Chain A
């Protein structure tokens, strides 16, 4: 009798489980939390350092020993995003007289003996990164979702072989094929084009997205679609109305992983682009050589580069939390 009552209760959720944990496991749990916090703090130190350096002035950035407390300035960001010219003494004096009328970034540079002449290339490259990573992520996720659905639900001839083949594209380090792809792209006229990198990143991400999405779709019971079919919907309607809303966490996880790959990719971007389609990662490193090492600019570039991925991940975190725990979406 008691057992039957218990089974009738609502499904177990996290909150119920926690109070079932015994004293011993509670200690283990506490240790785990401490370890996780320590690990998170340790891995955040470089990010924190980048963040600090980005707001340092040039002398502060290279000071030995490193300064933990300093007067923050936007110099790094301004020099990252603008092209500048060295001022001649006469012109400098002239500008200094009208300092109050100048925009804030110009004021900052004039004090350094430079004049802002226009936006830097980095702005365009950041834009390239956004276009290429965004489009290739959407393409990889959409194509991956459709392929995964077919693999998950229909008797595709040679399914196992096809899935293995798709996975096998991941079996060698991509850098190994940079030279052949470089030659191919030159021939095909895809060198230094947006479409070239989009195509490449989509293909690289596709294997990943097919496998990941298949895992998520396999977890969604077929009965939901079958119920929709007998409820009067076509297969396509059932997919959009029932399967898709239930695979959101999987889609979010796949999107974030694909985006991070496409956004961070360095080697191919360096090889296959020169100017028009060059993305941010290779251009951050090229700043190393320009008139001494501008650590503040590099840090500002890195920081600005991190932000979009952080924002997307943060926006999708609600789905991600469910997504990374896989089986949890089953009813």
Chain B
């Protein structure tokens, strides 16, 4: 297994930056997810690691060895493509054996190892079939088997679940995660689905517009987004972001009321912005609750049933104010226009500087 290190790696197509210089270290056995909207450079990054795309600048190291200009066939990396790229003219068995034949592994061992991974993925009964006739889920398993059979230094996966339907995606998500744990394989996984990223990644790399926005554990990017983009992008719906004014000891949401700050946040805002300044208040839907004595006034704009709970869309300060999402118990009904008050969990609020769009950090904690 292996460590992958990117040092100031960048990619330009003509004048266009597909990936701006980025640093990233994927540790041995780690599952790192590259997450971002389409066109953010995540797939290009993955292809550069595989050697399918040349780099414009920077270095790629595999286990400390510089492989920046190494041919893809000599990097000892397996790649799982979005549409699987199973060779249509070969049987399932031939597909899986293909990478071993490149290495000149003896026939006997090829047979043994193909049988071994096929048992692991439960696809032995498909050996003689052509990939074309297989279900998407089985094609996915064959593609995984072809990657696994080599025992490569690292796995790269480019939206491997993108072509599957919802049920199958859920199942294969579990299977891939389980495989990763069993094999303890260094994996870089690309997706645009943040639910997938949060569920699977040991760490998540959030990218947007060719730039890495944040690298952190799923909990870090969820609870402590580094900037407004990450705050909006992670979570469905994203973090509530409300422009307000810092008044020393409290922030005022125009028309809705004042939220008192904990001493830690007060000190942090004081230090970051100085007294009396505009700031953006952020909180997750589950960080707020409907409470008669809450500091903020709002009216119901709309409400959705989300199964176990209701998601309220509230206009802060009454109709026409900024709309925020708040989770509420599904027992109570809130007709449109109902006036109510909400309270925020002081530990769960976050603040952003409206000029730089970056998060303001507290002294304590991380």
Q: Which residues does A use to contact B, with CB under 8 Å?
A: 3-4, 7-11, 221, 223-224, 226-234, 237, 241-242, 245-246, 329, 331
Contact = CB atoms under 8 A, between A and B. Distances in A.
A8 B135 contact: yes
A227 B165 contact: no
Contact of B168 (A8, A229, A231): A8
Interface in B127-152: 131-137, 146, 150
B72 A229 contact: yes
Contacts of A9: 135
Contacts of B168: 4, 8
A232 B88 contact: no
27 contacts: A4-B166, A4-B167, A7-B136, A8-B135, A8-B137, A8-B168, A10-B133, A221-B85, A224-B85, A224-B87, A226-B50, A226-B85, A227-B81, A229-B73, A230-B52, A230-B72, A230-B73, A230-B78, A230-B79, A231-B78, A231-B98, A232-B74, A232-B99, A232-B150, A242-B89, A246-B87, A331-B86
B102 interface: yes
Contact of A227 (B75, B79, B150): B79
Given A223-B81, A227-B87, A331-B83, A232 B103 contact: yes
A55 to B, nearest CB: 44
Contact of B146 (A223, A224, A231, A234): A231
Nearest to A6: B165
A242 B87 contact: yes
Contacts of A7: 136, 165
B77 interface: yes
B112 to A, nearest CB: 18
A331 B131 contact: yes
A10 B129 CA distance: 12
Given A11-B132, A227-B87, A229-B52, A234 B71 contact: yes
A230 B135 contact: no
Contacts of B87: 224, 227-228, 242, 246
B168 to A, nearest CB: 7
A232 B135 contact: no
Contacts of A331: 83, 86, 88, 131-132
Contacts of A11: 132-133
B73 A246 contact: no
User: Of A232, A241, A242, A329, which is in contact with the most chain B CB atoms at under 10 Å from its CB?
Assistant: A232
A138 B6 CA distance: 48
Interface string B17-50: 0000000000000000000000000000000001
Nearest to B73: A232
Given A7-B165, A230-B79, A231-B146, A223 B85 contact: yes
Interface string B227-243: 00000000000000000
Main secondary structure of the interface of B (DSSP, over half): mixed
A232 B133 CA distance: 26
Given A226-B85, A229-B51, A231-B99, 7 more contacts: A224-B88, A226-B79, A228-B98, A229-B73, A230-B50, A242-B89, A331-B86
A8 B77 CA distance: 30
Interface size band for B: 35 or more
A7 B102 CA distance: 35
Nearest to B74: A232
A233 B134 CA distance: 25
Contacts of B51: 229-230
A223 to B, nearest CB: 4
User: Of A4, A11, A230, which is in contact with the most chain B CB atoms at under 10 Å from its CB?
Assistant: A230
B76 to A, nearest CB: 8
Contacts of A242: 87, 89
Contacts of A10: 133-135
Contact of B102 (A221, A232, A246): A232
A127 to B, nearest CB: 36
User: Of B81, B103, B166, which is in contact with the most chain A CB atoms at under 10 Å from its CB?
Assistant: B81
Contacts of B86: 331
B97 to A, nearest CB: 10
A226 B85 CA distance: 9
A230 B87 CA distance: 13
Given A4-B165, A10-B135, A226 B102 contact: no
A9 B168 CA distance: 12
Interface in B252-278: none
A226 B47 CA distance: 10
Nearest to A238: B73
Nearest to A226: B52
Nearest to B78: A230
A50 to B, nearest CB: 40
B73 to A, nearest CB: 5
A237 B79 CA distance: 18
A191 to B, nearest CB: 45
Contacts of A230: 50-52, 72-73, 75, 77-79
A260 B72 CA distance: 42
A286 to B, nearest CB: 47
A174 B261 CA distance: 87
Contacts of B165: 3-4, 7-8
A246 B131 CA distance: 14
A211 B83 CA distance: 27
Contact of A234 (B50, B73, B77): B73
Contacts of A237: 102
A221 B82 CA distance: 12
Given A221-B83, A226-B85, A245-B89, A233 B73 contact: yes
Nearest to B85: A223
A8 B132 CA distance: 13
Contacts of B131: 331
